[in-house]
Each structure stands twice: as C-alpha cells, then as structure tokens.
Structure 1
Amino acid sequence: MLTLFRWLLRLTIGLIALMVLAAVLAWYFAVRSLPDYAATHSVRGISAPVEIVRSTENVPHIFGRTDADVFFALGLAHAQDRLFQMVTLRRAAQGRLAEAHGPQALPADDLARRLGLARNAQASLEVQDPRTRAALEAYAAGVNQWIGIVNDGALGRGAPEFFLFPDVITFWQPADSLAILKLLAAASTNAAADEVLRARLDLAWPERGTQILDRATLPPLPGYASLFPGARLGTPERRIDPDARASRPGFLAPGQHLGANAFAAEPQRTAAGASLIANDLHAPLTAPSLYYLARLELESGGVIGATVPGMPLVLSGRSAALSWAVTPLEIDDADIAIEEVQPGNPDRYRGPQGWTPFQTRTEVIRVLDAPAQTITLRETVNGPVVPGLDPGLRDVTPIGHVAALRWTGLSRQDGTMSALMGMMQAQDAAEAARALTGVVAPALDVILAAEDSVTRLAAGAAPQRSADHPTGGALPAPGWLAETAWTRAVPLAAIGQRPAEGLALATEEPIADGIRRGRLTRLLDDREVHSRDSFMAAQLDIVSPAARALLPLVGANLWFTGDPAAPGTPERQRQDALMLLAEWDGAMNEHLPEPLIYAAWMSALQDRLIRDELGPLADDVIRLQPRFIDAVFRNRDGAGAWCDIVQSAAVEDCATIARQALDRAILDLAARHGPDVTSWRWGDVHQADHAHPGLGSLPALRWIVNITQSISGGEFTIARTGLLGRGTDPFRARDGAGFRSVIDLADPDSSVFIIATGQSGHPFSRHYDDLAGLWRRGEYVGMSLDPELARAAAVGVTVLRPIP
C-alpha cells in the first residue's frame, strides 16, 4: 500500500510539473510575439531611416523622408500590433475564413466568394491613381517586412492566436487593402436586408405588415404577392441567433450596417473663433477594436486620426490644413433582383431578351478538419446570385427562382481608395471635394473643416432607377423586367454645401427615423457658441429621445391609477416601476433602474403588438421601432389595429396591451434580478462585450481575450450602443463607437481621440485594453502633430534603417 501511495504521489507531482512546464512554454511562446518598440531593424524597401515614435498610449508617430517610407512604416506598425486582425480581415474579404476557423465560417466564405470582394478589388487596383498604388505597394512591403522579421527572429509567429489556428501567413498584396475596403463597404449597408424584411412583412400581413418599418417614407408599394403570383410566406424558422455573434470569426461581415455621428461648427458658433469638428465611428464591439490610432508625417504635412489595420489610410482625422469626419450615407445602394430559372434547364434564367445562360464558375473552399467544399458561382445580367445574402431571403424567393444582387460595391472600376487618399492629403476643402468625386462604395456623408469654414458633401455612387420601376428599389423586383435595371450610378460628390446657422451634422440614420439626429440638432442649437468641451458632452450624451417620446404616450392611461398595492405584490412592482419612470429624464445611465425597465417594457410591448400577426417572423424584428409604436398608440393611418390580439375573442385596446407588456417585463426582470424594482441596474445587463473573434467564445480563453464592461447609453442615444435584441442576453451591446474624436482648430494640438479597447491586438500586452476604461468613462487621449511633443512623451522609438 505504501509503495502504491509513493507511486501515486510521484505521478501526481510529475503531472503537476508537466502542467507547469506546459504553462511556462505557452507563456514563453506567447510573449515572444510582443514587439520591442525600442528596437532597430535593418530593412529593405525604404530610402532613408524612418522613426516610429510610440506615445504613452502606444500611438505610432511615423517620420520618414518620403511618403513611400512612411506608408512602409505604417504597414510594419499595423503588423506589429494587429497582424492577426489584419489576416482575419483579409480572410473574411477573400472568403477563406474556413481554412483557419472550420465549418462555422463556411456561410461567410460562401457569401464573400459570391460577392467577389477580392476579385473586384484586384480588378480595381488598376484604376487607382499612381500616388495611391505607390502607397499600397509601400504599405504591403512594410507588412511583409515585419512578417520576415518575425520569421527570422522566431518571434512567436507574430501573434499568439497563430499557435491555435493553423495558418500559413501569406505575404501582403496591394489588392488585399482594397479587398478590406470592399468588406468595409459591404458592412456599411443593409439596403438589401431591408428589402428582404419589408417583403417578408408584406407577405405576413399585406394590409399593414410594412408599417413596422415605414411611416410614410415610401410611395405606395405593390403587394409583394402581386409581383410574384403564388409567393407565400412559409412558417419561418428562427433565422437570427444573436447569441452566435461572439463565435463568428470575422471582424466585419456584409450587412452589419456600420454607423457614425459627425458634427461641426463654424467660427461664428465657437468660443475660440475657429472651427470645431467631432466624429464617432460605430463598429462591432470586438477585441481589439476595428480602429487604430496613428500619425503620419507625409510630404503634404502631418496627418493624424483613425486607421483600419490593413489599409494605408487615415479614415477620420486631421492634417495641418484640414479636418474631416465621415458617416455612412443612407442611400439605397443595393437592389435584389428575383430571377426566374428556366423550367427543366437550371443553367438558364429569364432575362430581358429571353432565356439567357448564367455565367458560372466553380471555386473550392478549403475547410479546417473537414472536406473541402466546391461551390458553383452564378451571375446574371443583374449581378451575382446570392442565396446566403440574408437569412430570410429564401422566404421571399418563389420556387423556381433565384435572387441576384445589384450593389454599387460590385464595381470593378472602384477608385474609392484613391479618393479617400486624396482627401487625406488635400490642402483645402475644394481639393478634398474634387478627390471625393471618385468614391463609389461605401457612400459617405463627409464634413470638412478648415480653421475658418465648414463644408458638408455627399460622396459615393447613387443608383438611378427608372420612373416606372415597379417597387422603386424598396422590394425585390422581377429581374427580367427592363424597367427594374439601374439607368446609371451617379457620383454624388459635388460642390460642398456650407452649413446652415454655422452648424453641420450627420448620422447614418434613415431620414424617416432621425431620432439621434433630432437630439443632436437640439443639443447644438441650445448653445449660441460651442467649445471642445461642449462637443465632447454632446458626443457622450446618453439621453434617449425615444424614451422621452414613448413613455408619456404608452403609459398615458397607467400613471398613478388604482389604490396603493401591498408590498411584494405584482401590482406594487408595477406601481413602483411606473413611479420611477414618471420622474425619469430619459438618461440611459448604467447605474439606474429606469433604463432597464423602459427597455424591457418596450421590447415586450413591440413583441406583443406584432407576434400574433407575424408569428415566428417577429423574432427577426430585433430592433425597437419607436415610430411604429408611436403610430400604433396614436392610431395613425389605422395602425391601432396592431393592438388587437387576433387569436382572442375580445378586442384589446392599446392601454391593455401596454399594461400586459409591462407586467410581462417586470415578471422577467424580477426572476433575473430580484423582486426589488429599485435595486435593478441598467449596467447589470447593458454590457459592452468586446469579444475576440474566433477565441471569444472558447470557455477556457474568453476570460483572457474578451473585454467586458458595463456602459451607459442605448440604441437611440447619441452615445449609441446597438442592442442584440433577442436571445438570452437581449440588452447586451453588440456595437458602439469604436472611435471618437473632437478636433478644435483654434488649438489643433489640444484635439482628443479614443478607441474602444487598446492599440495592441496582443492579449498579453498592456496596451490590449488600456484605453477601454477611458472609453467607458467618456475620456479621451490627446494626439498632437508637434514632433517634439511626440518625442518628449515617447515610451519607445522603433528605428528602421535601409539595407544598401
């Protein structure tokens, strides 16, 4: 027995020793990929020594003799900090995620291949201007130089994730940067998804279904079933799984609908007598953030602001002469064409001139730990056939038909990168406006600020539709009708418009909504003059205009009714909740119970209004529709009919539905957070989960790689955080302001910036999450174009020396 005990003890000690050794080895190889920011490297591809000066926040300030040298160093700096993110974005654009992430990435790869993001990017390389092609080539050379340094020095493959994902890192190509821009464009629009949902709603309730989305914003539309006789909405399966977001391996995906806010004031409306400009760019909350701060010292002058790793471009920021802010422009830049397949011949479809062969090709998608998948890509005169574009697309595609996509971003002559590079290096607003005429996709609302003036303009390609288009682009339309084809796509950038009253603002919201836009307009109009601090306060505003508008309307017949109920009863909980909401100012503060009660009530109310008419389709209406609820409770155009539960014999009124929805919300909240209404907190459920794509869903690693923190704000606040809307955690924030900036042109070096996580994508770096707390608290960091200030605050200087 004693001998057995000794052997068990030895075995246990041995296993513990092996586990410790494995942990030490894992740590050693992981930290090997942490870059040394004070190193000197001899490299090929630059003409003279280059310095990358790292600030306290790890923001690289790059100084070189030529633009090519500076873009080379930017590529190297991006690769030092975000190589895994860059490779993942490239894979997402190329449709090659499944090679590293397995079968779960197949749908994303299939869609990227059908959209041809990488193919179209390669074709568009030829139309870039010489300056941009030189920048793309220099940037790619810098990325590849760092990959070479990692390989030569055995620096942990460049990122610890590469030990977990079998990946051969191929060298960067100039077209890869264009492919990421194409992916960004695809993620910026949801025009096609809106068409699909509108058609599904019309099929579910032809008389009123589209009221959920459209409030007198569109001309009368034909019934979808009249366009395609026999079209019927089946019993939809659960299409959207919000809880699956964290497991998606890509940082961006088509149809995510990226958002932004931008606003500016001319000198007569500022305290310091020079223009002010602010921008916040919304993106999925990932770790690291989509955005990366950088400063470039170009031949045209210094440039500083937000970049996207993988592209040699400051997307939002300033130079010594000009500042710029961008938001996605809300135009209908995509249409779905329903194509009829020839009966008995699946290789042909009905075109305007008769039965026409599909253009076809096959591609092979390699899949990790699974057989490779061969897919057949088909294309019609209207665009590529995209069965996986939207989860609900098959509901509106009649039997014997397929869906094709028209989208401005499918252009193979896309000079958007050159246009944005031209804006970045422009010396005045007029030069920037001329450059922006080349933007194709994404379409952008651009605000340009010089010291003495502000200009606003639109940039992008706007589809022009025939006057006799049967749906005006609002619904999928028959692809064989000549009148559904676009007549042309018109460049939008023109002579910029000076802002009225000295103020300019833009959000990505549809004009019909304009909820954040209205709040922002009021905040800006409330002050005669603005300062950097007032712009920061506006950018961080957490008051929900939707809450302020809906609560008095929905609760009109519930406030202060009935005798006081006994403590602990459901009636008392309702009375306590209503008492809190009656005195609430609409601020979605993470420390208050009122935002949670309001959000749960409105979610339950909308679901109760639409579920009996739409059935499982209600699961896909995940975003709160305040104007729909407003129309219902005001009975605008007969919308009050939504309040009647069709399955019941009684005729319910809206007050009854409002009370039932509140009771349902309180019951659910009490089960999760206890019976005391006053103890509930919005921040307990409204958390920013900056999930690491690929690793963020793994139980053993999510506590290391994910950054989770409670935050204020909501879907309709200026400091916006989009909600998941469904699933086990419906109030979790799924996207938000990944980048914020406020630039004061009276004192440009006092301008402030922030991103949502940290500059590094390495989970073991102190710069992985060092900005996340500042972002959560609404704080910023300063970034100056003064070289001496940059060097004085440097925590490391990387020197690149040319090899003769």
Structure 2
Amino acid sequence: MKRLFNILLDLLLAVFALGLTVSGVVYFLLRASVPDYDEDFSVAGIEGPVDILRDAAAIPHISADSAPDAYFALGFVHAQDRLGQLLRARRAAQALMPLDRTIEVEPSTAQALDAYAAGVNAWLGLVSEGGRGRGSPDLLIADERMIAAWRPVDSLRLAQAFLNDLQPERRQNDLSGLSDLPIPSDRPLLPELFVTSPKVSLDAWALPGDRTATGAPILAADIRGPLSLPSEWYLADIQLPTGAAIGATLPGVPFIVVGRSERVAWAFRSVSQKAVKEPENPTAAQASNFLMMLDRLARSADVNDAMDACMNLSPAGLEILAIDRETLARWPDREVETPLSFRDARLAALDERQPIFSVEGAITVQRDTVSAAARALLPIMAKELWFVGSTGALEENRADELRGDILDQLAQWNGDMDRFSPEPLVFWAWARALQKRILQDEFPSATKVWARPNADVLFAVLSDRGGSAIWCDIRPSTRIETCQDQVRAALDDAIGWLVDRYGPDPSAWVWGEAHALNMGWAPIRSSGIISDLLSLKAPSSGDSYTMIATLFTSDDDRPFAPSGGTNFQAVMSFSEEAGSYFIAPAGQSGHPLSRFYENLFLMWMQGKYLAMSTDLSLARGGAVGTSRLLPASVQRPTIQDDRSQ
C-alpha cells in the first residue's frame, strides 16, 4: 500500500512539474513577443536611418529622410504591434481581388505600397529568426501558411475590404422568412424596415473660422465600426519630407486615413444610401484610387490642393471635408443632401445652441449621450398614459403603482442615455416590446425585423406617416388594435421583462448593466474562454442614435449589449501646435501582455482625448522608448514568399 502511495505521489509530482514547465515555456513565448520599444534594428530595404519615437501612449512618431523609408517604418511598427490583426485581416480580404490582377497607381503610391510591404516583411524576418515568440500570442497556434510575406496587393485588398465595409448590408437577402411572407397589401411600405447599418460608417462635421473662438476652422471626425481588440485603428505620426502627417491609420494600409498634416486636416462622411444610386461592390481600381487620394491628401499644400486631389479619386458614397488655417472645403463642393437622421437632428440642436465653438466644445458635442430618438419617440408613446389612469382594476394595486412611478420618472427624463440611470433601460425595453407587438404578426420567423429596436420604424408608425399606424393592428385578431392599445400593452410587457430580469425595484434598473461594453480579443482563430478573459468590459452610456454611438445586438438574451459603435474620434484645428485630439477605445498594442494593450480604455470611457502634435519635442515628453532602423549591409534572411495562397 505504501509503495502504491509513493508511486501515485511521484506521478502527481511529475504531472505538476510538467505543468509548471509547460506553463513556463508558454509564458516565455508570450513575453518574448512583447516588443521592446528601445531596441534598434538592422534591416534591409531602407536607404538611410529611421527613428521611431514612442510617446507616452506608445504612438510611433516616425522620422525618415525619404517617404519610402517612412512608409517602410510604418509597415514595421504595424507588424510589430498588430501582426495578428494584419494577418487576420489579410486572410479575410483574400477573396476580394485576384492575385494576378495588375492595378495601376501613381509612382509615389506604388513606392509607398512597396516600402510598406518591405517593412512588414522586415519584422516577419526578425520573428522568423527566433527569440520573439512568433510575433504575436495567437500565432503560436496559427497555420504556417498564414505567416507568408506581405505584398503590395495585400494592402490593396485591405483598402478594397474597407470600402466594402462602408456599404450597407442588403437586408432583403438576409432575412429568413421574408420571401415566404411578403408585406400584406393593406400595410403601407416602411422602407426603414430594410435599411441596415454598414459594418463601418464614417462621419464628420466642420465649423468655419467665424464659428470658432480662435478664428481657425475646426474639423471633427467619428468612425463607427467593430468594437474589438485590438482596436480597428492605429494612431501614428509620419514625418515625411513634405511635412508630417498624424492621425488614424488602418493596419495593413500605408497612409493616414483620417488626420492632418502640417497644412491640411481631412475626414470623411458616409453619404446615406438614399442619396446615391444602388452601390456595387468596390472594385480593385476604386481601392487603388482611394489609396492614391490618401497619399495626395498627406502631401497637399492647402485645402484647394486637397480638393484637387480628391476630384477624380473619391469613392462613391463618401464626402470629404478638409480644413487649413483659414478655409473649410468639401468634395463634392456642395453638401450632399441626405435624409435627416436622429443623430443629425441632435447635432443640429447642439450646433444651434452654441454659436461659437472651441476645440473643447467640439469634443463635448462628440461625446454627447442624449438620444434624439428617445426625445422624439417618448412623447408619442406616453402622451395618453401620462394623463390617463390605469385601465385595470378600480383599486390601485402594485402593478398600477409601479407603472405610475415609471411614467413619472420618464416624464422628468431628458433622453440622456447615462449608464448609471434607469430611464434609458426602461425606454428601450418599452420600445423593443412595442416593436415586437407591431411587427411580429407580419414577420413571425424573421426575428431580425423586430428583435433589434428600430427608432425610424417606430416613429413612422406612431406618427402615422402615410397611414402607417395600421401596422399596429394585429392581423389575426378580429378587432382593430390602435397604436395606443399596443403602447399600453408593450409597457406592461417591458415592466414584466424588467422585473423578471432585474427585480421589482426600478431604482436598481441601471442602463449600464444591460448596455455593458464588452470588447473581446480577436485572435487568428476563435478561442472562446481566452478571448473572454482578455476582453475589456465596462458599463457604457449612449445608444444607436447618440453622438457617441453603440449598435444593439439581435441577441434575445442580451438585446441592448453593444455589438459595435464609435471606435475612433478626432477633433482637429490649426489654432495651436497641439490643437489636434484623437482617441481610440483600446491601446496601440495588440498583445494582451503589453501595458499598451488597454492603456487608452479608461481615457475612452472618461471622454478624454490624446493631444497629438507634429512637433517631436512635445512627443518626447514622457516617451517610452526610441528605436532606430539602420540599413543592413548584408541581406537578412527572410521568410519565404508563399505564392500559393
């Protein structure tokens, strides 16, 4: 017996020791892939030395004697910080463009694409030499074929994929059951039923000099898209021979997408689907035009030069806004008329309220969390209930008391989607229940039609636009239900749902609990529990119709959890050297063990921005490292260029 015990003990100790050894090896490999921002490198593919200064937020400030060397360094730092993201995005975009397609671009753009690819490959070559844990934690389990050499066509693919993400989804082809159950002939058409948000949406607005405190124009930019880790956007400063350019880059693409140079700032606004013809999938030629336009914008001498750069290259469905020290301009040269959205209405109200803006005032507008949708819908939904008593039992019961308390709360609410308040949760639970009652009988199996709250549909029906109030009638029933019948019943549905989920005390119903931001790590392959452990979570304010926006899911269990939303914001002006402010919701690094993986998350949640300047002396304050790239005298061993993908 004693011998058996000793054998089992030895086995247990051996398993424990093996576990410690494996854990130690894995941890070493993971730590080895965290980049050292003070390390110098000897690399092939550059003509002269390149300095990469990392400021306090690990944003790279790249200084080079030539534009190709600068773009080489941008590819290098993209791979250094976001290698897994680069390879994942390349794999997703591979089907968009044939490998043997020849695309014509301007010489400067072609040089940038070639240099950028060489920079990515330089980092891949360093990783292949060993000692860097394969460059990214998720690449430890990735297929070898994924870690193939980067080529200029890969950047073109990613630009094409980005333009494709700006196109609205075609919901008509995506709704199960809709083709089997067409819209009844007695129901007026609701176009809003078939309008979906694109995966990525660009927004921008600008103020001329006579509307600002300094007399210099202000340009504000927002991007809405996936909320994941690492962030979709990467901040960078590229000190080109023609002048510096700072702002948001898209990993895989060698240009500033939204940002400013020393002379011009630029941003884009997605034009509503109703304002342009039915879009087609972006072509490779359109992607190359887009890249050439970004290249030209960074080298523009002034706003007029920037507009000339955009005239024949701007993708359909995008409006370009640009400012310099004195002038505001857009292309097309007149504002594109688009249907007024709830966000547009809120922006117009904030704009009218404040005749003169500072940069700080523009930031306040960007972070506004008052929902114009709630302010428009709530008075219509509650107009009868606020002044008419319960239709239930004669003597007041607990349900009537609870309903009355909730209506009193909503009557004093200004529509602010504050994460610590109960009113946003009550309102959207009510709106969701109402939409379900209105639409479920027409589309019983097409849950995407009625599961996600659509304020445009509700407003059209409740305001009886074009006779749309008939949608409130339940077709299988013999009586004709009115919208007020449905509103009353939906309120009780919502209260019942809230009580079941959050308890009977309305003061415990907090918007942030139902509307919690959950940014999950997106590795090469889905990793389930690991992604959950590495995610960033926090209760968040806003909704789909606020200035800082979040998109609801169609998940019946978590209907108000954000599935996407605002993932980059910038306010730019030439009124001062550090007059440009940028923020993204995570950190620069895509490595979970890096201290720059989540360092911007708290700032994002608090509405604080990073001041970015083209002045390197300002960036050196609190810098976390400086790397130098030196031309290699001998060709370094590099990875094999896999042409089979």
Tell me the TM-score normalized by structure 2: 0.92
* Matched position secondary structure for 2:58: coil
Per-residue CA deviations over 1:761-789 (Å, capped at 9, x if unaligned) read 00111111111111111111111110212
Rounded to whole Å, the distance in 1 between the matches of 2:411 and 2:462 is: 18
* Matched position secondary structure for 1:127: coil
* CA positional deviation for 1:650: 2.3
Correspondences of 1:310-459 after superposition (within 5 Å): 310-331=252-273, 406-409=280-283, 411=285, 414-439=288-313, 441=315, 443-458=317-332
Alignment pair present for 1:789 and 2:618: yes
Aligned to 1:54: 54
Aligned to 1:93: 93
Q: 1:701 to 1:627 in 2, by over 3 A?
A: closer
* Matched position secondary structure for 1:262: strand
* CA positional deviation for 1:185: 1.0
* Matched position secondary structure for 1:48: coil
> 2:440 touches 2:450 (CA, 8 Å); kept in 1?
no
Aligned to 2:23: 23
Correspondences of 1:271-670 after superposition (within 5 Å): 271-331=213-273, 406-409=280-283, 411=285, 414-439=288-313, 441=315, 443-458=317-332, 496-497=333-334, 511-562=338-389, 569-670=398-499
* Matched position secondary structure for 1:29: helix
Alignment pair present for 1:127 and 2:101: no
* Matched position secondary structure for 1:735: strand
> 1:276 touches 1:742 (CA, 8 Å); kept in 2?
yes
Rounded to whole Å, the distance in 2 between the matches of 1:703 and 1:276 is: 39
Rounded to whole Å, the distance in 2 between the matches of 1:556 and 1:549 is: 12
Per-residue CA deviations over 1:583-640 (Å, capped at 9, x if unaligned) read 1100000000000011111111111101111221243455433233223223232211
> 2:177 touches 2:445 (CA, 8 Å); kept in 1?
no
* CA positional deviation for 1:413: 8.2
Aligned to 2:639: none
Per-residue CA deviations over 1:178-205 (Å, capped at 9, x if unaligned) read 1001111111111644677699489621
* Matched position secondary structure for 1:535: helix
Alignment pair present for 1:176 and 2:154: yes
Rounded to whole Å, the distance in 2 between the matches of 1:538 and 1:693 is: 31
Per-residue CA deviations over 1:534-556 (Å, capped at 9, x if unaligned) read 10100000000110111110111
> 1:265 touches 1:454 (CA, 8 Å); kept in 2?
yes
Rounded to whole Å, the distance in 2 between the matches of 1:431 and 1:189 is: 28
* Superposition CA RMSD, Å: 2.7
Letter of the aligned partner of 2:386 in structure 1? W
Rounded to whole Å, the distance in 2 between the matches of 1:526 and 1:675 is: 39
Q: 1:634 to 1:255 in 2, by over 3 A?
A: closer
178, 190, 193: which one aligns with 1:212: 190
* CA positional deviation for 1:695: 7.2
* CA positional deviation for 1:17: 2.1
> 2:236 touches 2:246 (CA, 8 Å); kept in 1?
yes
Letter of the aligned partner of 1:555 in structure 2? A
Q: 1:332 to 1:418 in 2, by over 3 A?
A: farther
> 1:191 touches 1:334 (CA, 8 Å); kept in 2?
no
Q: 1:513 to 1:38 in 2, by over 3 A?
A: same
Q: 1:752 to 1:421 in 2, by over 3 A?
A: same
> 1:610 touches 1:618 (CA, 8 Å); kept in 2?
no
> 1:43 touches 1:802 (CA, 8 Å); kept in 2?
yes
Q: 1:516 to 1:615 in 2, by over 3 A?
A: same
Q: Which has the higher contact order (CA 8 A, sep 6+)?
A: 2
How much identity, in percent, do the aligned residues show?
33
* CA positional deviation for 1:711: 0.8
Letter of the aligned partner of 1:10 in structure 2? D
Rounded to whole Å, the distance in 1 between the matches of 2:188 and 2:149 is: 48
Aligned to 1:236: none
Which range is displaced more, 179-188 or 616-625? 616-625
Q: 1:186 to 1:175 in 2, by over 3 A?
A: same
* Matched position secondary structure for 1:542: coil
Which range is displaced more, 272-281 or 614-623? 614-623
* CA positional deviation for 1:327: 2.3
Per-residue CA deviations over 1:399-442 (Å, capped at 9, x if unaligned) read xxxxxx94343657842211221122211122211221343646
Per-residue CA deviations over 1:292-317 (Å, capped at 9, x if unaligned) read 00000012101000001000010011
Letter of the aligned partner of 1:77 in structure 2? V
Aligned to 1:777: 606
Letter of the aligned partner of 2:480 in structure 1? V
Q: 1:796 to 1:707 in 2, by over 3 A?
A: same
Rounded to whole Å, the distance in 1 between the matches of 2:234 and 2:402 is: 46
Which range is displaced more, 56-65 or 449-458? 449-458
Rounded to whole Å, the distance in 1 between the matches of 2:296 and 2:368 is: 33
Alignment pair present for 1:700 and 2:529: yes
Rounded to whole Å, the distance in 2 between the matches of 1:701 and 1:603 is: 32
Q: 1:9 to 1:196 in 2, by over 3 A?
A: closer
Aligned to 1:137: 114
Q: 1:407 to 1:606 in 2, by over 3 A?
A: same
Rounded to whole Å, the distance in 1 between the matches of 2:212 and 2:84 is: 43
* Matched position secondary structure for 2:522: coil
Rounded to whole Å, the distance in 2 between the matches of 1:264 and 1:599 is: 31
* Matched position secondary structure for 1:211: coil
Q: 1:214 to 1:199 in 2, by over 3 A?
A: farther
Aligned to 2:97: 118
Letter of the aligned partner of 1:37 in structure 2? Y
759, 777, 784: which one aligns with 2:588: 759
Which range is displaced more, 777-786 or 622-631? 622-631
Q: 1:423 to 1:786 in 2, by over 3 A?
A: same
Letter of the aligned partner of 2:362 in structure 1? F
Alignment pair present for 1:747 and 2:576: yes
668, 678, 682: which one aligns with 2:507: 678
Rounded to whole Å, the distance in 1 between the matches of 2:276 and 2:574 is: 38
* Matched position secondary structure for 1:150: helix
Alignment pair present for 1:149 and 2:103: no
Rounded to whole Å, the distance in 2 between the matches of 1:519 and 1:197 is: 31
Tell me the TM-score normalized by structure 1: 0.74
Rounded to whole Å, the distance in 2 between the matches of 1:93 and 1:59 is: 26
* Matched position secondary structure for 1:757: coil
Q: 1:745 to 1:684 in 2, by over 3 A?
A: same
Alignment pair present for 1:712 and 2:541: yes
> 1:291 touches 1:306 (CA, 8 Å); kept in 2?
yes
> 1:321 touches 1:427 (CA, 8 Å); kept in 2?
yes
Aligned to 1:385: none
Which range is displaced more, 788-797 or 20-29? 788-797
Q: 1:332 to 1:653 in 2, by over 3 A?
A: closer
Rounded to whole Å, the distance in 2 between the matches of 1:690 and 1:706 is: 5
> 2:177 touches 2:443 (CA, 8 Å); kept in 1?
no
Q: 1:636 to 1:333 in 2, by over 3 A?
A: closer
* Matched position secondary structure for 1:801: strand
Q: 1:590 to 1:201 in 2, by over 3 A?
A: farther
Rounded to whole Å, the distance in 1 between the matches of 2:253 and 2:188 is: 40
Aligned to 1:240: none
Which range is displaced more, 56-65 or 610-619? 610-619
Letter of the aligned partner of 1:79 in structure 2? A
Letter of the aligned partner of 1:176 in structure 2? D
- The number of residues matched between the two structures is 630
Letter of the aligned partner of 1:654 in structure 2? C
Per-residue CA deviations over 1:135-191 (Å, capped at 9, x if unaligned) read 000000000000001111431111010112323311000010010011111111116
Rounded to whole Å, the distance in 2 between the matches of 1:186 and 1:429 is: 27
Rounded to whole Å, the distance in 1 between the matches of 2:91 and 2:259 is: 27
> 2:366 touches 2:547 (CA, 8 Å); kept in 1?
yes
> 1:414 touches 1:440 (CA, 8 Å); kept in 2?
no
